[in-house]
Amino acid sequence: MNNTKHNLQKKLLGIFLLVTFIFILIAFRLAYLQLIKSGWLKDMANNQWTRSLPIEAKRGDIQDRNGVALATSYSSYDVYVRPSMIDSVEEVSIALSTCLHMDYEVVYNKIYNKKISEVLIKKQVSLEDVSHLNTYNLKGIYYSENSTRYYPYGDLASQVIGITNIDNIGQAGLEMYYDEYLVGVDGRYNISSDVKGVAIEDKIYTYQDSVSGLNINLTLDVRVQQSLENALVKLMREQKPKTATGIVMDPNTGEILAMSTKPSYDLNNPNRADMNSLLSAMKNVSVVDVYEPGSTFKVLTMAAALDTGKAQLTDRFYDPGYVIIDGEKIKCWKHTGHGSQTLTEGLCNSCNAVFTDLALRLGLDTFYEYFDKYGLGDSLGVDFFGEATGIVMNKGNVKTVDLARMGFGQAIAVSPIQLISAICSVLNGGNLMKPYFLKSIETEDGRLIKEITPTLLNRTISEDTSEKIKVMFEEVVKQYTGIGSFIPGYRVGGKTGTTQKYNENGISGEYIASFVGGYPANDPKYVVLILADEPSGDSYYGSVVATPYAKLVFEDIIAMNNDEPSADLDEDIARMEADIELPNLVGMPLTRAVAILAELNLQYEVAGSGDTILSMTPSPKYMVHDRAVVILTT
């Protein structure tokens, strides 16, 4: 009896403990779900009884320095379908494919499965197409407001500005570099719905508005940019190069006022079907590519020689047409030589013999010190992805002949932005300024967030040396190879360049023609660089292929600023009158043709290495002005 009673008590205790344990487990589970997992459960529940549509943030505008929109956005719509709500898959597929310009089968395959609660049909649909779709009065179709990127000037500054993808994320250029400022924060629209996704009337919905991206203002001036691109288009048409590249900078601040390469591409309609062609067209050659600068580099050699006292304006040089260094014959472009000349005449004549001499006077260590000062072989920190550092030979590998060639811009490679920045420094008093695109960042309503100020990277030369260089720079344009950029009544300085290209087999037979110049010459506010890669017209010389197109840009800048001509206008106009008729030099010995041109006070450049004139540009009987350049092909 006692045993039975004891056993019963044990069983009851066991049951009590088991029930207590179960209750404790339930309590712990409830506490876990309510305290720890409550947020997750709430989200799960919301997902079951609500439908959510994104509200994409408006991407910030990209504007020039004067507030002109270069990239902006307009409202568009993303179209969604809730398959469980539609009556006829075929009817809806026909309407969507017709109004949204899509393939019927693609649309049908997206919406036929009614187990899917919601499917995106197409992004960035225009208001016109949405209005057309609404005329069908179909159930189950919903819209979410979006934005589409638009570039008001089409292909203007296309390599600089870049593009976005379908999700409005920057893919190239400044669109990608400054994406974090431009992109904004998306919002959402949530509404209660039943199990089929049908909206429940009179239920509360939530709306979280999007936050627009910031606007960025660039250093670019759309007027200067248009002028540069017009000049490059004309160059492409007349000189037929593979590409034409140009930069306009403010030498005193480092602000990039214009930059372009032709051919370019339409920002509103990039050819994404041919990615190789698109990537080629998108490349910003001015920043990411390097080349041997040739004679435009002579300005930097001259500045270094004057700055160190290794050369004086009173020095004289003799050029027989070549120099021999380390057993190698280095020719001047003028095969007969320039004879005896001053330092200034050496720059004006672009004489290789003078600049090999200057490079050797400077010596390896000093010349390389100036390379560092000029920012060559290193990044300048321009706000653009993929900036090239240039190529400067390891000092331990440099032979004397290499050093000599560096003096006139061979055996060294620079990017266009490096070259123009270095030349700006020798024209602005010796300040190497950081080149940059971003001028300021502001909110959609114009509140300033950030403003960029000019950055001094280095001191290159003294102010005294800079003044000497500016005088010499102007003399090149007034009297010699840069005369194609001469503008009556206005002071322009500049230097031409003609560079032979190399490949794995040595000299390729192709050229890069170039010109770099500043206006006004005595105190430059604008510096222009023009490059023509592999011109295939009548000439490959910088004085013919590049210089006249820089002149077009300078003329537009003068007109934009309403600059008044100097008192020397009439005299300058008289100098530029085309009153000299070219004689027929074809078939003559080179020496005789050169003598005739000298008597007429005309300049010449020789294409080829023969002794007899095969052709000439301009052609015989063409009227030219004093000091004009005639191309003699031998």
Say how many residues make up the chain: 634
Contact 511, 521 (CB under 8 A): no
Give the contacts of 325 (CB within 8 A, at least 6 positions apart).
Answer: 356, 360, 400, 401, 404
Question: Among 112, 110, 105, which residue's Cα sits nearest to residue 84?
Answer: 112
Q: How far does the chain reach from its first CA to its final CA, in angstroms?
A: 135
| Residue 414, CB-side half-sphere exposure with 13 Å CA sphere | 25
* Catalytic residue (choose from 295, 415, 539, 543): 295
In DSSP terms, which residues pair with 215 in a beta bridge?
Answer: 442
Question: Among 536, 429, 542, which residue's Cα sits nearest to residue 485?
Answer: 542
H or E element that contains 348: helix 343-348
The yes-or-no answer on residue 260 being catalytic is no
Provide the angle, in degrees to the nearest 10, between the axes of the packed helices 298-308 and 416-427. 40
**CA–CA dist 606, 588 (Å, integer):** 13
Residue 518: phi and psi, rounded to 5, are -130, 150
Query: Which amino acid, 423?
Result: I
Question: Among 613, 616, 618, which residue's Cα sits nearest to residue 628?
Answer: 618
Task: Tell me whether the omega of the peptide bond preceding residue 520 falls within 30 degrees of 0, making it cis.
Answer: yes
Question: Among 574, 577, 582, 573, which residue's Cα sits nearest to residue 602?
Answer: 582
Provide the angle, in degrees to the nearest 10, between the axes of the packed helices 416-427 and 463-479. 110
Question: Among 250, 249, 180, 247, which residue's Cα sits nearest to residue 216?
Answer: 180
Question: Among 309, 594, 326, which residue's Cα sits nearest to residue 462?
Answer: 309
Question: Among 69, 94, 75, 58, which residue's Cα sits nearest to residue 154?
Answer: 69
Q: Which of the residues are catalytic?
A: 295
